[in-house]
Structure 1
Amino acid sequence: MSLTLHNGSTFFQHSTNRYYDGRLVIDFVAEALSLPYLPPFRRLKGKSSDHGVNFAVAGSTAIYTKFFVKNNIRVGFPFQSIQNQIIWFNKFLEKQGCKGPLSSSPQCKALLEDALIWVGELGANDYAYACMVKSSVSDDTVRKLAISSAIASMQVALLQKVMKYVVVPGLPPTGCLPLALSMGTNNDKDDIGCVKSVNDQSSTHNAVCQAKLQHLMKQFPAATIAYLDYWNA
């Protein structure tokens, strides 16, 4: 007889409703800053959290969900986009008395002035879903839409609210992930044994993302926008 434990049982000693059993990057960030782990937004249920909130959704995309529906990219389970997370983010701000794109209320200033916004990897799931169903949608299209959707969302939801500290990670070598390795071919390997075409895809994505972020840095000079280089880490 075998017993399947809920994800979270190994480290947290309780179910976390995550895809993973251990900690995520944001958990290590919280530890490094001597903060409690960030509660998921959907678990707040009207409560406040003065040390931060996690709006992330496992498997979410940078491109809006309707794009995948329109192109018949279905992977057997529902997923959400960054748009949903931005909606939750704005709802959270409104409950804290911070309304409007350029609110300067005392509540808003106190909440946002020194806040650190940690954005998840932009686009990894978008590429993966298109690949899983062998979609005819090109990598260039996914890259353009993923980055433009995410950057636009950040600009409106974060930077126009006078956020000062934003961290945006690039993609890691996604050709080394189990999904890519399971779908790759023997003649599509790079010098470290990973899927070359997928790693090339991520490398190009990172270059475009950094160029877009440079533009945002010029547009919002008062903000500190940091690119987190997972690729070369």
Structure 2
Amino acid sequence: MESLTIHAIGLVIVVKLVLNPVFCLSKCDFPAIFNFGDSNSDTGGLSAAFGQAPPPNGETFFHIPAGRFSDGRLLIDFISERLGLPYLSPYLDSMGSNFSHGANFATAGSTIRPQNTTMSQSGYSPISLDVQFVQYSDFQRRSQIIRKQGFFQNLLPEEDSFSRALYTFDIGQNDLTAGYKLNMSTEQVKAYVPDLLGQFSNIIKYIYAQGGRSFWIHNTGPVGCLPYVMDRFLVTAAQIDKYGCASPFNDVAQYFNLRLKETVVQLRKELPLAAITYVDVYAVKYYLISHANKLGFEDPFLACCGHGGKYNYNRFNKCGGKKVVNGKEIILAKSCRNPSVRINWDGTHFTEAANKWIFDRIVDGSFSDPPFPLNFACRRMDH
């Protein structure tokens, strides 16, 4: 009887190995990460170009402002940690940067397609995805010229790092809100999504043409659950779903994600050597927000760092905002007492605690297509 049981257990293990091809593969050895995106993954690009994200940003983990619009680490930081790589230096930061293990081209406020406004007018970064690609392409070429000259060899990636690297993307959220800021209807915003994804697809193809092979692509989150959206666009009670999020904005995000997934499927056909992982961060973020209390978090719509209003968010007095009273500078938009129980940091971005919770759900491939863990993201389904 005992031998039969052991045989049965062995059979189950063999079946699992056959059904889950990941067990038959060796882990990827990513020597570098090249990241493209917006504030969800900006580790200091916008701060380097336009001024540091003010305190209390960075207070939880870095204990000083660290270029991130959060109290601590972002998803891209946890990705770097899991792959055993240093945190990514922003491409635009000339101070103390080390690019030997990759570079971050993301900037807060970035969009896929260029905006016809200045940053002071709309808040959107001029460093859209096409510019980020130009920066990457220039970095790839010039880093190798400089290495061959014998300069900064320890601070720049080796030549084969570009083909072996993981290319990460988290962008598109700002493209959706940009339309609403121009008073477009939900249908009008949806109408330009195919153009957005056409431009996004081109960037993936350009990187592939320059040797990139492993792509890890986050879809966009539930923008209708962000305090800044609900405050900025005067959401009506009829538009609020049972969990407190604004349905029209989430509908647009889901439409974008549906079309993004279709784009990824098409890219796999056109780029046969590419391993492209689509990661459903929308589902994870929405679950976190809709089950906040059960998961140990407080009100998911109340910003930790802010000043006044229903959501502790005021777009004219954002996190770290100051005011001079009787010649003395006073910080009005301060941090909450315990960011570790908050999901929303400043009305727009997530806290480190929320980012860590989200990362822990996506790292094993549970929300990925194909369902490979992060450290197997160089593998394709046909392997």
> Which residue of 62, 79, 86 corresponds with 1:12?
62
CA contact (8 A) 2:89 2:97 kept: no
Indicate whether 1:84 and 2:131 are aligned. Answer: yes
Indicate whether 1:174 and 2:223 are aligned. Answer: yes
Q: Deviations over 1:187-212 (max 9, x none)?
A: 01223221111111111111111111
Q: Deviations over 1:121-174 (max 9, x none)?
A: 3x2101112213424691123312221111112211x11123110011111111
CA distance in 1, matches of 2:268, 2:158: 22
TM-score, structure 1 normalization: 0.82
CA 1:85–1:131 in 2, change beyond 3 Å: closer, same or farther? same
CA distance in 2, matches of 1:32, 1:126: 30
**Residue in structure 2 matched with residue 119 of structure 1 by the alignment:** 169
CA distance in 1, matches of 2:164, 2:257: 27
Displacement, 1:6?
4.8
Displacement, 1:47?
6.5
CA contact (8 A) 2:220 2:257 kept: yes
1:172 aligned partner, one-letter code: G
CA distance in 1, matches of 2:141, 2:124: 31
Q: Deviations over 1:8-34 (max 9, x none)?
A: 233213322333332111011111112
CA contact (8 A) 1:127 1:142 kept: no
Indicate whether 1:227 and 2:278 are aligned. Answer: yes
CA 1:108–1:147 in 2, change beyond 3 Å: closer, same or farther? farther
Indicate whether 1:33 and 2:83 are aligned. Answer: yes
CA contact (8 A) 1:170 1:206 kept: yes
DSSP-derived class of the 1:43 partner? coil
Displacement, 1:179?
2.0
Query: Within 5 Å, which residues of 2 pair with 1:197-216?
Result: 197-216=248-267
Indicate whether 1:23 and 2:73 are aligned. Answer: yes
Q: Deviations over 1:27-77 (max 9, x none)?
A: 111111121111111124796522121110001000123xx349xxx4256
DSSP-derived class of the 1:187 partner? helix
Count of equivalent residues = 216
**Residue in structure 2 matched with residue 103 of structure 1 by the alignment:** none
CA distance in 1, matches of 2:240, 2:225: 10
CA 1:12–1:47 in 2, change beyond 3 Å: closer, same or farther? closer
Q: CA RMSD in A?
A: 2.6
Q: Deviations over 1:87-119 (max 9, x none)?
A: 111111012338xxxxxxxx9851222100001
**Residue in structure 2 matched with residue 102 of structure 1 by the alignment:** none
TM-score, structure 2 normalization: 0.52
CA distance in 2, matches of 1:7, 1:192: 28
CA 1:135–1:80 in 2, change beyond 3 Å: closer, same or farther? farther
> Which residue of 200, 203, 207 corresponds with 1:150?
200
1:175 aligned partner, one-letter code: G
1:181 aligned partner, one-letter code: M
CA distance in 2, matches of 1:90, 1:45: 21
* Unmatched runs of 5 consecutive residues or more in structure 2: 1-53, 146-156, 285-383
DSSP-derived class of the 2:167 partner? strand
* Unmatched runs of 5 consecutive residues or more in structure 1: 99-106
2:106 aligned partner, one-letter code: A
**Residue in structure 1 matched with residue 27 of structure 2 by the alignment:** none
**Residue in structure 2 matched with residue 51 of structure 1 by the alignment:** 101
**Runs of 4+ displaced beyond 6 Å:** none
CA distance in 1, matches of 2:190, 2:87: 37
Larger-Rg structure: 2
CA 1:221–1:46 in 2, change beyond 3 Å: closer, same or farther? farther
CA contact (8 A) 2:110 2:126 kept: yes
Indicate whether 1:75 and 2:102 are aligned. Answer: no
Indicate whether 1:95 and 2:146 are aligned. Answer: no
DSSP-derived class of the 1:29 partner? helix
CA contact (8 A) 1:75 1:133 kept: no
CA 1:69–1:135 in 2, change beyond 3 Å: closer, same or farther? farther
1:89 aligned partner, one-letter code: Y
CA distance in 2, matches of 1:172, 1:132: 18
